[in-house]
Each structure stands twice: as C-alpha cells, then as structure tokens.
C-alpha cells in the first residue's frame, strides 16, 4: 500500500508573526516494517486536522504563509515541515490556523510534528489529487529492499515563503539510482519540485540530477551570495568511501551498509534542497532555478571533483582562508558581533558534543535491537525444546513479544538517528555556514583596513613628493590618493552593508533555529512516547499468556 | 540491605515462598538459614550465615558464623562427592562473586573524568555504584538460595558437613585448591566428561524414561544456556542505552545555557525528562536481568546438576552390569562367588536406589522449573509494563508542560 506523507516546511517566520505558526522540523515517523503497524503508529501521533487537510493520516501545522511578511532575506528555515496550505487558497485556509491556534496544539496530535514519510512522488503528480499535500505513508514499491530495510521517511520541506502571496515550494529527492558501472558510475536522484512560485515555468515537475550537480550548485551559490552576507545552507559532504563502495558494488548485492549510506545521502540532499529553496533570494537565483528546472543533464560540474585542478585550487584557497581565520584578529568595534561570534563558537562546540552523544545513543539502541532479536530466536529454540506444554507456549509467546519489541527498538533507533542526530549534524553545518558569513565580514573589514593603510601611504607619498617639489610625481600621487580615497569609501560601505545584512540574516536564523530545535525535540519525544506505548501493548498481550502457565 | 532480596530468589523450595525468613516446617523441627549480613572487602566477600533451629543436634537454638565463598564451594563438593547422595540432584553451588566488570567500568570512568562535566561524572559514578550494589546483592542472594535449598531438603539438612558449616565458629580452613589440587580437579573433571561421553555412547539405558530424560536434558541445557547468554547481552545493551541518556541530558542542559533565555527553559525541561527516563530505562534493564536472565541462569545450573545425576546413575548402571558379568564369570570359574555375589547385590541395590530417587528428583525439578518460570515471567511482564507506562507518562507530561513558544 502506498501512503504518502508529506510534511512541508513552513518558511521561517518573521518575528512578531503569528506565534503559533510553527515550523515543523523534519519529522521522522518511525515506520515499522509492517506497514499497517507503522501507519497506524503515525496515525495515532497526529490528530487529524479536519477541514483543510483531508489527509488520512497526519496533520501538519499550517504554514503561516499569509503571515509571511514581505521582508527580505529570510534565512532558510531549517527543514521545518508545516502543512502547506493549498496553493490555490491564497488566503490561507483559516481552519488551518484555527486548528493550530487551538490550545496547546504543540503537544498532542496537533503539535507541529512532522511526520515524514517515505515519499516518492510519482513524476506526474499524485493521481490527479489537487491537493499539494499528500499525507500518506509511502512504502517504496519500486525498491523494496532499500526502503524496507531503512523505512526511510523522506522529508518534504516546503516553505511558504516569498514576498507577498502564498508562495510555496516543496522539493523531494527520491529514487536514487546507480547509473553506469565501475569507477565511472554515479548516483542519480530524481528531484521533484512542487511550487506555485511565479517565476517557475511549471507547477510540478521532476528532473534527474547527479550528486556532483548538487555540489556544483552549492559552490555557485556561495560564490555569488556569500559576500552579500547570506547564510548559504551547506551541501551534504562527499564521502570517498561510501561512494566508492557504491560504484564498485553491484546493485543486487547492495548490502545494508550501502543502502544506509544511500538513504542518508538522499535524506540529506532533500533537506539541503529545501533549506536552500526556503531562502527567497537563493530561490530566485538563476543557477538554482536552472538546477531544479532544466530538463536536461546539467553540464558536468567537474570542478567539484576533489582531484581536479579546480578542486586542488579550492583546497589551497581553503587552507589559506583557515590560516587567515586563525591569525587575523579583528578589531571588533561592534559589540553585537563580538557577542554573537562567541556565542556561535560555543554553540558549535556544544552541538558537536551533543551530536557525539546522540550517535552513541543510536549505536547502543541499534545494538539493543540486535541483541533483542538474538534473544528472541534463542527463546524460540528453548520453547521448542521445553516439554511442558503450557510453559512451552508461554516461552513461544515470549519469543514473539521480544521479536516485536525488537522491531520497536529498531524503529526507535532510526528515529534517534534521523530526527535527532542528523538534524543536529545539519545544524552544526549550518553554524559552519554562519561562521563563513561572519568571516566574509571580517574579510571586508580587512579590505577596508588595508585600503585605509594604503590611502595613508599614498597621502604620505604625495606629501613627500610635494616637499621634494617633484610636480610630476605629485600629480600621479594625487591620482592615487583620490583612487584610494574612493576605495576606502567603497570598502567601508561594503563592510557596513554586509554587517547590516548579517544582522538581519541572523535574526531570521535565530528565530528559525529556535523553532526548528523545539520542533525536532518535540517530534523526538513524541516518537519516544509512541515507542513506549507500543511496548506497553506488547507486554499487555504477553501477561495473560504467562499467567496461563499451569 | 537485604530488602527486596525475595524478588531475586527463584522459587526454589518446592512451591513455598523462598523468602529469607520463611522456611518450610518439616517434621516440627525447623531449620532456618539465611544470610543476615555481608561485607565486601577488597577481593573477598564475607557472608554472615545465621541459623535458627529447633533441632536437637545443634548446640544452640540460634547462632551465626562468618563464611567465605570458598567454604560454600567446599560444602557443595562434600555433597557432590558423597555417594549416599548419588541419587539426588545436588543444589548447584553459587557462582563466585564477580565484581570485575563493575570495577573495570569504574576505572574507565575515572580515566575519562576529565572529559565530562562534574554533574555528568557524578551521575555516572552513581550509576556504577548502584550497579555494584546490585551485583553485590545478587551474589548474596545466590549464596542464600544454595543454603536454603540444603536446609529444606529432607535428607541434606541432616548432613554432618552441613552442620559443621553452619555451626563451626572458626574458619573452616578451606584453602582454595593449590596448583596441584587444581590440576587434579581439572583432570578429574576431564575424566568425568570423557567418561560421560563414553557412557552416553556405549551404555544403553534399560529404562526408557531415563533415556528420554537424558536426551531432553541435553537439548534443553544447550538451549537454555544459549538463551541465558543472549538475555545477558540484551540487558547489557539496555543498560548502555539508559546510560547514554545521561550524556544526552547533560549535553542538552549545557546547550541550554549557551542558547540563552529563549530556549533555556525548554531545554532544561527536556534534559530533566531524559534524566528521569534514564532512570526508568535503567530499571528496565536491571529488572530484565533479575527476572529473566537470572531465572534462566539458575536453571542452567540446576540442569547441569540434573545432568550430573543422570551421569551418576548411568555410571552406577554400568557398574551394575559389570558386577553382573563378574558374577557370571565367578560362577563359571567357581571362584570368589560369594564376593562377587555381594558385589553384585550392592551394585543392584545402589542402582535401584538411585533410579528411584532420580525419578523423584527429576519430576521435582520439572515442577520447580515450571513454577519458577511462571512466577518470574509474570513478574517480568508486569514490571516491563509498569516501566513502559511510567516512561510514556513521563514523556507525555513533559510534552504537555513544554512552554509554548
């Protein structure tokens, strides 16, 4: 059965907006293997939102689309998921808001949970459903292996953002495929976009892109926008080991390790795309548009290859920058920046630590799932050997109960991973991007300082020339002085401009970050709670069996 | 210190509650044995064995002695080697007190002290200390169960060595086997197992019942041993999950301080919840250990003892048949007939005696096993349910109380 569950991300809210517009972080609905189980699971989680969402399963919080203020650079919200109001309802369906506005929606059902579901949108749209949000749990039919083992919910982020009007854009990355063979093979992904933004040609379409295309896009965006003070969402990292394994392995023998890797990457790419598209400036960027729209293969972004000359150059540049970062101590006159820089640093360190402990949790829980499975088997054997019949029956039941518990643990481990750990990792990378932006500012400051110093030198040279009575030199010196005066002015402007821009971006970033974090944690707690409730059921069914031993 | 010990003991005593202070009244003369205290010194554990009795043979009606683990083993060996008890299942000896795992963990924690915050460190230390305490309690319980079974057994309770063990106020000067004796012991057990195998291969049992029992016990023993190992691994993993919540919780609270007022309250609530959740998870793990793993483990050992019984019987049967052959030969040669007859008669009696007793004991074992499993499985399920409910409730109230944006 195919259920679709799309969670759309709401755009970051401008401060002061409807506080109840919540951003749904990427949600991971733990999909238990047996679909009915899983879907029931998420069904419990979400209270259905009558009215606007006729989703069978989950409800999503609404995107306060109409609350989007036409303010400028909204930082790309983290993949918050919110319900996308029907695109054809520009005046955001009031019911959505009402339902959200009802009391502590945050908590039960109506909480800004994102249930993500492995979503594989068929290229041609969903069977004629006009609604943009499909809420259903999807089980990948095409590639049962991958999704069965991973039961990966694909997050859909959609942001309703834009200047005026209910714009929304939703990007899914799906269908990872290996194209070609051997070392020259690569992974291609289907990028499906749904949007009502005006400058896109269509409302709903798909293109195929390969991994290096994503990286190329990121690089171009950085080149173009970083120096304007924008926070560019980071792209997923390259991984030599993972990719080589995939390249050299055959499709049939794709082991669960590679499948895991593919799924992680797919999810990361999806989050990346959605984050980027939430940012209105980035979304309007022609390279971005070409990326999502162009129906042909993009020119190979060979420059992204690590071994190319451009790659080496980039590496050298990066090294240089790092040295620069470490050595140049800026004379910070702006206290805001002083504080923020420190805060960013400590946030970074703390998040890394937190992430490490989350990874440990994931590992332990996976271990728990494995050892529980082993125990279930051993108990089954014991049950078959046991000669006392009712004890044997009870032991058999124990084995089955443990088997079910194992599934629960496994799903919870996935939730641990995707909801908590991967999101935190994304955040660490976003903080990195923030640091990059801050550093851009430092660089402009450096330029300004350098210009000032040079100006002083030029003035000095001119004065010297005047003293020496060298009229020809004076003329030249005067020109240079004027030139550098201009440069000083411009670089100062640049510096102030970027400082302002960053402050604004950071405001949005903060709001979005806080929301996202809350939502992520809430989602996770809910998942945890659901797991416990399932465990309750397992044991409740077991107890009478145990009591029946005679 | 000994409270709650009752939960730990599998119901051993023929259906009666094996509480510390409960005993079965047999023949009006009671013999109550328990371990009233235990002291853990660096390498050893000293148990205070306390006896209350109305049996006339004992000098005083109530008394205590201090015993160490080796002395328990000595007592067990006395029973094991006693031919009169060949037809009985000898209660399995308690396992050696093993704090190595806890000690190792404590050491590792000490080494890693620099890398974690004070609270984290103290919390983990607390956890480890609780673990240590739990191991300690368990070993005391195991020793106690061993003694209680002996005390309640109609035949064993009257054993002279048992009396000595309970009464003799000095050290029993049971030194652990020195090297020579250890090697001897090894040799003996090696011999025994080869003999076992040999017998199993060559000796045909006359009684179908025993034949079946043997096969069953062997299979069962393997299965239950396997289940015990897996159960142990599972409870360990559970404990690790619970412990990792500690770091999560403290990491989150630190994040809260950095984040500042906007998120701080929220984060602190969550961190607190994780801390509470961890405690519950920890309890799940220890309850699983107690109810599930320990039950399984006990019956591994008891099963072992039953196997020993069967072996002894088989050996006896072999001897009996041998004696028969000897008798026939003696009759044929007409030499030493009388001696051979006597020998044969002895062997025959022994064999019959063992067989009868063994049947009883095996049935007894079965009944005990079923009861113990039933009790512990029910308790396990109820505890798991309780903890899951507690956690669900905890999470629910956390979610409800999280401040709205």
Residue A329 has pLDDT above 50, yes or no: yes
A117-132 pLDDT tens trace: 333 333 333 333 333 3
Is residue B20, in this structure, part of any structural domain at all? no
Cα–Cα distance, A433 to A62 (Å, whole number): 28
The pLDDT score that the predictor gives to residue A255 is 65
Give yes or no: residues B235 and B91 share one domain.
no
How far off is chain A from B168, nearest CA to CA, in Å?
43
Which residue of B254, B370, B392 is in closest CB contact with A532? B392
Give percent of chain B above pLDDT 90. Answer: 4
pLDDT digits (tens, 9 = 90+) for A264-273: 888 888 888 8
Residue B2's pLDDT band (cuts 50, 70, 90): very low
Q: Is B377 close to A517, i.e. CB distance below 8 A? A: no
Give SS3 for B89: coil
Helices within A386-470 (DSSP H only):
389-415, 423-468
Distance CA A146, CA B260 (A): 41
Per residue in B249-280, pLDDT tens? 888 888 888 877 778 888 888 888 888 888 88
Nearest to A511 by CA among A18, A6, A8: A18
Please check whether residues B164 and B215 belong to one and the same domain: no
Residues 217-256 of B with CB under 8 A from A: 219-220, 223-224, 226-227, 229-231, 233-234, 236-238, 240-241, 244-245, 247-248, 251-252, 254-255
Entry field: residues in chain B: 405
Please report whether residue B66 resides in a domain. Answer: yes
CA distance A376 to chain B (A): 9
Question: In this predicted model, what pLDDT tens digit does every residue of A178-214 receive, in sequence order?
Answer: 888 777 778 888 888 888 887 888 888 888 888 888 8
Burial grade of B70 (CB within 10 A; 0-12, 13-18, 19 or more)? middle
Note whether B167 and B258 are same-domain residues. no
Full domain range(s) for residue B90: 28-100+139-172
The reply to whether B111 falls in a domain is: no
Report how far apart, in Å, the C-alpha atoms of A124 and of each of A9, A120, A129, A153, A203 are.
Answer: 22, 11, 11, 20, 11
* % of chain B surpassing 70 pLDDT: 89
* pLDDT value of position A152: 36
- Higher pLDDT residue, B99 or A353? A353
CB-nearest to B388 from A360, A515, A539 is: A539
What are the residues facing A157 on neighbouring strands? A171
Number of domains, chain B: 2
Q: How far apart are CA A215 and CA A238, in angstroms?
A: 9
Q: Are A12 and A512 in contact (CB under 8 A)?
A: yes
Encode pLDDT of B22-81 as tens digits. Answer: 444 444 457 888 888 888 877 788 888 888 888 888 888 888 888 888 888 888 888 888
> A178-181: long-range contacts at Cβ-Cβ below 8 A with a sequence spacing of 24 or more?
A178/A246, A178/A247, A178/A251, A179/A210
Is B164 in the same domain as B229?
A: no
In a domain, B131, yes or no: no
pLDDT at B12 over 80: no
- CB nearest B395 (choices: A388, A395, A528): A528
Coil, strand or helix: which one is A140? coil
- B119 in a domain, yes or no? no
Q: How confident is the model at residue A101 (pLDDT cuts 50, 70, 90)?
A: very low
Task: For Cα atoms A88, A89, A95, give the angle at the middle one, nearest 5 degrees.
Answer: 145
pLDDT at A144: 36
**Helix, strand or coil for residue A204?**
strand
At A265 the pLDDT is 86
* pLDDT above 60 (res A109): no
- Of B15 and B206, the structure prediction assigns the larger pLDDT to B206
Contact A82, A60 (CB under 8 A): yes
Mean pLDDT lowest for which of A52-56, B157-161, B394-398?
A52-56
Would you call A46 helix, strand, or coil by DSSP? coil
B266 and B144 co-located in one domain: no
On whether both B70 and B219 belong to a single domain, the answer is: no
Cross-chain residue pair A521–B270, CB shorter than 8 Å: yes
- Joined together, the tokens standing for residue B97 give 């007190």
Q: B211 with B334, same domain?
A: yes
Residue B155 distance to chain A (closest CA, Å):
28
For residue B77, the model assigns a pLDDT of: 87
Residue with tokens 């620069």: A324
Asked if B267 contacts B256 with a C-beta cutoff of 8 angstroms, the reply is yes
User: pLDDT by residue (tens digit) across B282-298?
Assistant: 888 888 888 888 888 88
Element (H, E) at B45: strand B45-53
- Compute CA A125 distance to the chain's CA centroid, rounded to the nearest angstrom: 23
Mean pLDDT, residues B310-325 taken together: 85
Chain B residues closer than 8 Å to A354 by CB? 248, 251-252, 255
Residue of B176, B166, B146 whose CA lies nearest to B66:
B166
Buried b or exposed e, range B277-290, using 16+ CB within 10 angstroms: bbbbbbbbbbbbbb
Q: How far apart are CA B243 and CA B125, in angstroms?
A: 11
Q: Nearest CA to A206 among A195, A191, A217, A196? A: A191
The per-residue pLDDT for range A380-403, each reduced to its tens digit, is 998 898 888 888 888 899 999 999
A371, A381, A520, A547: which to substitute to probe chain B, counting the most B Cβ within 10 Å?
A371
Residues B367-374, mean pLDDT to the nearest whole number: 88
Task: Identify the H or E element spanning B379.
Answer: helix B337-401
Q: Is residue B35 part of a domain?
A: yes
CATH number of the structural domain spanning residue B216: 1.20.1270.60
Short-list A6, A59, A3, A29, CA closest to A418: A29
**Mean pLDDT value of segment B361-390:** 89
Same domain, B168 and B241: no
**B77 and B164 together in one domain:** yes
**A192 has which bridge partners?**
A172, A206
| % of chain A at pLDDT higher than 70 | 65
Contact A405, A535 (CB under 8 A): yes
Say if residue B233 is in the same domain as residue B336: yes
Q: What is the mean pLDDT of chain B?
A: 81
**Closest listed residue to residue B379, CA positions, set A406, A379, A389, A539:** A539
C-alpha distances in angstroms, A162 versus A87, A110, A284, A488? Answer: 13, 25, 10, 36
In a domain, B115, yes or no: no
Same structural domain, B353 and B210: yes
Residue A528 has pLDDT above 60, yes or no: yes
Query: Over the stretch A57-95, which tens digit does the pLDDT of each residue have?
Result: 333 333 333 333 333 343 343 343 333 333 343 433 343
Whether A371 and B219 lie within 8 Å, measured CB to CB: no
> For residue A307, what pLDDT band results from cuts at 50, 70 and 90?
low
Judge whether residue A149 has pLDDT over 70.
no
For residues B206 and B203, what is the distance between their CA atoms, to the nearest angstrom? 9
Per-residue model confidence (pLDDT) at position A250 = 61
Question: How would residue B354 be classed by pLDDT, with cut points 50, 70 and 90?
Answer: confident
Please give the residue that has the higher pLDDT: either A2 or A473: A473
Q: Which of B130, B154, B172 is the last residue of a domain?
A: B172
* Judgement on whether residues B305 and B376 belong to the same structural domain of the protein: yes
Give CA separation, A193 vs A176, A210, B393, in Å. Answer: 16, 16, 40
pLDDT at A304: 56
pLDDT at A310: 67
Interatomic CA distance for residues A353 and A347, integer angstroms: 10
For residue B315, the SS3 value is helix
Closest CA to B128 of B112, B144, B143: B112
Within the 341-400 window of chain B, which residues sit less than 8 Å (CB to CB) from chain A?
366, 369-370, 373-374, 377-378, 380-382, 384-385, 388-389, 391-392, 395-396, 398-400
Cα B221 to Cα A248, A347, A385, A546, B310, distances in angstroms: 46, 55, 10, 22, 13
pLDDT grade for A311, boundaries at 50, 70 and 90 = low
What average pLDDT does range A394-419 have in this prediction? 89
**Are the Cβ atoms of A386 and B220 closer than 8 angstroms?**
yes
CATH value at residue B84 = 3.30.1520.10
- Mean pLDDT along residues B91-120: 81
pLDDT at position B103 over 70: yes
Instruction: Indicate if the pLDDT at residue A148 is higher than 60.
Output: no
Interface test with B, best of A19, A61, A539 (most B CBs within 10 A): A539
Residue A308: per-residue pLDDT: 62
pLDDT, one tens digit per residue, over B162-208 is 888 888 887 776 665 567 777 877 887 787 777 777 777 666 667 78
Tell me what the pLDDT averaged over chain A comes to: 70
DSSP A175-193: EEEEESSGGG-EEEEEEEE
Complex-level ipTM? 0.80
What is the reported pLDDT for B90?
87
Residue B123 confidence (pLDDT):
83
| Helix, strand, coil percent content, chain A, rounded in steps of 5 | 60, 5, 35
Kindly state whether residue B199 falls inside one of the protein's structural domains: no
């Amino acid at each position: 059965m195919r259920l679709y569950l799309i969670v759309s991300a709401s755009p970051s809210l401008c401060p002061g907006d409807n506080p109840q517009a919540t951003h749904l972080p990427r949600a991971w609905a733990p999909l238990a293997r047996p679909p009915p189980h899983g879907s029931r699971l998420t069904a419990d989680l979400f209270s259905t939102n009558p009215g606007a969402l006729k989703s069978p399963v989950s409800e999503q919080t609404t995107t306060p689309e109409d609350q989007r203020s036409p303010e400028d650079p909204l930082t790309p919200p983290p993949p918050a998921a919110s319900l996308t109001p029907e695109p054809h309802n520009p005046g955001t369906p009031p019911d959505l808001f009402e339902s959200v506005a009802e009391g502590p929606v945050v908590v039960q059902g109506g909480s800004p949970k994102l249930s993500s579901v492995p979503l594989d949108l068929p290229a041609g749209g969903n069977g004629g459903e006009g609604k943009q949000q499909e809420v259903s749990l999807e089980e990948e039919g095409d590639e049962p292996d991958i999704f069965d083992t991973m039961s990966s919910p694909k997050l859909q982020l959609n942001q309703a953002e834009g200047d005026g009007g209910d714009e929304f854009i939703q990007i899914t990355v799906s269908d990872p495929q290996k194209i070609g063979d051997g070392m020259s093979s690569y992974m291609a992904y289907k990028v499906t976009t749904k949007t009502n933004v005006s400058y896109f040609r269509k409302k709903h379409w798909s293109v195929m892109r390969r991994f290096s295309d994503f990286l190329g896009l990121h690089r171009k965006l950085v080149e173009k926008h970083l120096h304007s003070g924008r926070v560019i969402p980071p792209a997923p990292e390259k991984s030599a080991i993972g990719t080589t394994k995939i390249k050299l392995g055959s499709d049939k023998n794709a082991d669960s390790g590679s499948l895991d890797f593919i799924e992680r990457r797919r999810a990361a790419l999806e989050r990346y795309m959605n984050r980027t598209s939430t940012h209105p400036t980035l979304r309007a960027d022609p390279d971005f548009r070409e990326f999502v729209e162009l129906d042909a293969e993009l020119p190979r972004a060979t420059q992204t290859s690590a071994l190319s000359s451009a790659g080496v150059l980039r590496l050298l540049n990066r090294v240089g920058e790092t040295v620069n970062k470490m050595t140049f101590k800026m004379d910070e006159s702006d206290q805001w920046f002083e504080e923020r820089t420190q805060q960013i640093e400590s946030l970074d360190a703390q998040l890394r630590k937190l992430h490490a402990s989350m990874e440990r949790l994931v590992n332990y829980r996976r271990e728990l799932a494995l050892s529980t499975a082993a125990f279930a088997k051993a108990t089954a054997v014991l049950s078959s050997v046991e000669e006392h019949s009712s004890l044997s029956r009870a032991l058999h039941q124990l084995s089955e109960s443990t088997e079910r518990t194992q599934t629960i643990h496994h799903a919870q481990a996935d939730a641990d991973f995707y909801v908590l750990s991967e999101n935190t990792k994304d955040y660490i990378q976003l903080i990195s991007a923030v640091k990059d932006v801050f550093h851009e500012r430092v660089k402009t400051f450096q330029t300004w300082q350098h210009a000032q110093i040079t100006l002083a030198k030029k003035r000095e040279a001119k004065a010297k020339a005047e003293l020496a009575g060298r009229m020809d030199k004076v003329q030249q010196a005067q020109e240079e002085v004027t030139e550098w005066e201009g440069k000083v002015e411009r670089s100062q402007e640049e510096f102030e401009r970027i400082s302002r821009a960053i402050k604004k971006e950071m405001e949005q970033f903060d709001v979005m970050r806080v929301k996202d974090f809350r939502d992520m944690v809430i989602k996770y707690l809910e998942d945890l709670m659901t797991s416990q409730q399932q465990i309750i059921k397992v044991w409740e069914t077991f107890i009478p069996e145990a009591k029946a031993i005679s | 210190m000994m409270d709650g010990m009752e939960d730990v003991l599998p119901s051993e005593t023929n259906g009666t509650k094996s509480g510390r202070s409960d005993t079965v009244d047999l023949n009006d003369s009671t013999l109550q044995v328990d371990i009233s205290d235990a002291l853990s010194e660096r390498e050893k554990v000293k148990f205070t064995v306390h006896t209350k009795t109305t049996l006339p043979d004992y000098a005083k009606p109530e008394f205590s002695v201090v015993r160490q683990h080796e002395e328990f083993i000595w007592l067990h060996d006395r029973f094991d080697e006693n031919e009169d008890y060949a037809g009985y299942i000898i209660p399995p000896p308690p396992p050696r007190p093993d704090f190595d795992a806890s000690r190792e963990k404590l050491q590792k924690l000490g080494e890693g002290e620099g890398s974690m915050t004070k609270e984290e460190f103290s919390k983990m230390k607390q956890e480890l200390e609780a673990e240590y305490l739990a191991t300690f309690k368990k070993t005391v319980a195991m020793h106690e169960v061993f003694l209680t079974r002996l005390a309640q057994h109609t035949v064993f309770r009257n054993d002279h060595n048992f009396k000595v063990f309970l009464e003799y106020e000095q050290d029993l000067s049971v030194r652990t086997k020195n090297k020579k004796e250890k090697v001897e012991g090894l040799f003996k057990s090696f011999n025994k197992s080869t003999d076992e195998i040999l017998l199993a291969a060559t000796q045909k049992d006359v009684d179908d019942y025993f034949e079946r029992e043997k096969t069953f016990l062997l299979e069962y023993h393997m299965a239950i041993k396997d289940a015990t190992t897996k159960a142990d691994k599972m409870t360990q993993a559970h404990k690790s999950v619970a412990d990792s919540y500690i770091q999560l919780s403290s990491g989150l609270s630190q994040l809260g301080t950095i984040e500042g007022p906007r998120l701080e309250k929220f984060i602190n609530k969550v961190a607190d919840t994780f801390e509470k959740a961890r405690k519950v998870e920890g309890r799940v793990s220890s309850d699983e250990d107690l109810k599930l793993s320990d039950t399984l483990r006990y019956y591994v050992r008891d099963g072992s003892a039953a196997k020993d019984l069967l072996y002894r019987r088989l050996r006896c049967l072999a001897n009996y048949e041998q004696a028969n052959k000897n008798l026939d030969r003696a009759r044929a040669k007409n030499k030493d007939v009388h001696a051979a007859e006597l020998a044969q008669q002895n062997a025959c009696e022994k064999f019959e005696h063992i067989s009868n007793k063994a049947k009883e004991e095996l049935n007894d074992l079965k009944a005990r096993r079923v009861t113990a499993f039933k009790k512990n499985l029910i308790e396990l399920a109820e505890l798991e349910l309780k903890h899951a409910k507690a956690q669900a409730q905890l999470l629910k109230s956390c979610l409800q109380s999280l401040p709205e944006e």
